[in-house]
């Protein structure tokens, strides 16, 4: 349609018409293409984010992004109640002596499988600290084995909250929401030897002093009371044996 056929109020001035011819107005089709491309990018970003969140829950994420060792995942995925190996590759007569294996499949909770992040709840400050050490080359491999107090320090919580909390071993909590040592002692009072009996008022232990996640657990009482005939649970080791295995693992350069 020429400018001559337009009504007077619809006609373009010579200057406006020349400018329109020079610049050219964007075509509606190009606008639609840009909208489609933008939509595809948004969907791709959202899908990638969801995929990352799903992967973050899987053990493979831990071994790839954090520990840089497959030993933890291989250890965690072992069959329960059989002979196996600890994170150092050393033999364990019963994998149930390693809490990571024992807790993976359980009928005691609503979840059929307990994943790494269910216990090792990510703390962004701790992750940032580890990332900085990794970037600067100060990330030690093998890592020093930490107790639960060290692991929970980033959350500002006591070490026992790793095990006794509103989601795990809640029956051990007192009215104040903290671990009740009386309830802990009562939980194993039917055994011939009660490892949770409060013999020493001034002795404070972490759960992880006895219960090891990725290597054979130990009863630390045997460190001092070696003369007592303490019946160890299947797969567990004495304190002396535990220290030898730990030292051997570090010397072999295995994951810690």
Identify the band that residue 25 occupies on the pLDDT scale cut at 50, 70 and 90.
Answer: low
Q: What is the pLDDT of residue 256?
A: 41
Tell me the average pLDDT across 159-183: 93
Assess if residue 159 is contained within a domain: yes
Assess if residue 218 is contained within a domain: yes
When divided into structural domains, the chain yields a total of 1
Assess if residue 196 is contained within a domain: yes
- The answer to whether 149 and 161 are in contact (CB under 8 A) is no
Tell me the average pLDDT across 25-54: 71
Has residue 78 got a pLDDT over 50? Answer: yes
Has residue 28 got a pLDDT over 80? Answer: no
Tell me the average pLDDT across 78-98: 95
How far apart CA 100 and CA 79 sit, in angstroms, is 11
Identify the band that residue 161 occupies on the pLDDT scale cut at 50, 70 and 90.
Answer: very high
Has residue 21 got a pLDDT over 70? Answer: no
Has residue 18 got a pLDDT over 70? Answer: no
Determine phi and psi for 139, rounding to 5 degrees.
-85, 110
Distance of CA 8 to the CA centre of its chain: 73
Identify the band that residue 101 occupies on the pLDDT scale cut at 50, 70 and 90.
Answer: very high
How far apart CA 220 and CA 230 sit, in angstroms, is 11
Q: In this predicted model, what pLDDT tens digit does every residue of 105-126 receive, in sequence order?
A: 887 666 788 888 888 888 888 8
Assess if residue 38 is contained within a domain: no
- The answer to whether 169 and 163 are in contact (CB under 8 A) is yes
Assess if residue 122 is contained within a domain: yes
Assess if residue 141 is contained within a domain: yes
Which of 38-52, 56-70, 234-248 has the lowest average pLDDT?
A: 56-70
Assess if residue 42 is contained within a domain: no
Q: What is the pLDDT of residue 37?
A: 78
- Mean predicted lDDT score pLDDT of the chain: 80
C-alpha pair distances (Å), 233 with each of 131, 199, 230: 38, 20, 10
- Which one is predicted more confidently, 90 or 251? 90
Q: Is 91 helix (H, G, I), strand (E, B) or coil?
A: strand
How far apart CA 32 and CA 181 sit, in angstroms, is 67
Identify the band that residue 209 occupies on the pLDDT scale cut at 50, 70 and 90.
Answer: very high
Which of 82-91, 140-149, 156-165, 217-226 has the lowest average pLDDT?
A: 140-149
Assess if residue 173 is contained within a domain: yes
Per residue, the 3-state secondary structure of 104-128, as one string, reads: HECCCCCCCECCHHHHCCCCHHHHH
Q: What is the pLDDT of residue 160?
A: 94
Which range of residues forms the domain containing residue 93? 67-251
Identify the band that residue 134 occupies on the pLDDT scale cut at 50, 70 and 90.
Answer: confident
Has residue 202 got a pLDDT over 50? Answer: yes
Has residue 67 got a pLDDT over 80? Answer: no
**Cβ neighbours, 10 Å, residue 65:** 14
**Cβ neighbours, 10 Å, residue 207:** 20
């Amino acid at each position: 349609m020429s400018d001559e056929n337009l009504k007077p109020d619809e006609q373009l001035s010579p200057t406006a018409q020349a400018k329109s011819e020079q610049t050219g107005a964007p075509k509606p089709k190009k606008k639609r293409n840009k909208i489609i491309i933008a939509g595809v990018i948004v969907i791709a970003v959202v899908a990638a984010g969801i995929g990352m969140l799903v992967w973050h829950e899987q053990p493979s994420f831990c071994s790839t992004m954090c520990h840089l060792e497959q030993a933890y995942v291989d250890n965690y995925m072992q069959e329960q109640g059989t002979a196996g190996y600890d994170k150092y590759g050393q033999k364990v007569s019963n994998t149930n002596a390693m809490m990571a294996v024992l807790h993976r499949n359980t009928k005691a909770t609503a979840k059929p499988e307990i994943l790494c992040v269910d216990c090792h709840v990510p703390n962004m400050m701790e992750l940032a600290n580890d990332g900085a050490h990794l970037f600067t080359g100060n990330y030690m491999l093998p890592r020093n084995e930490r107790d639960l107090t060290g692991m929970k320090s980033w959350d500002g919580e006591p070490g026992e909250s790793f095990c006794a909390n509103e989601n795990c071993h809640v029956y051990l909590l007192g009215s104040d929401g903290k671990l009740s040592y009386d309830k802990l002692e009562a939980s194993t009072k039917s055994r011939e030897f009660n490892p949770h009996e409060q013999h020493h008022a001034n002795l404070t232990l972490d759960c992880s002093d006895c219960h090891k996640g990725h290597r054979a657990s130990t009863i630390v009482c045997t460190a001092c009371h070696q003369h007592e005939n303490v019946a160890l649970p299947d797969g567990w080791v004495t304190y002396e044996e535990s220290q030898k295995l730990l030292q051997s693992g570090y010397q072999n350069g295995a994951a810690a």
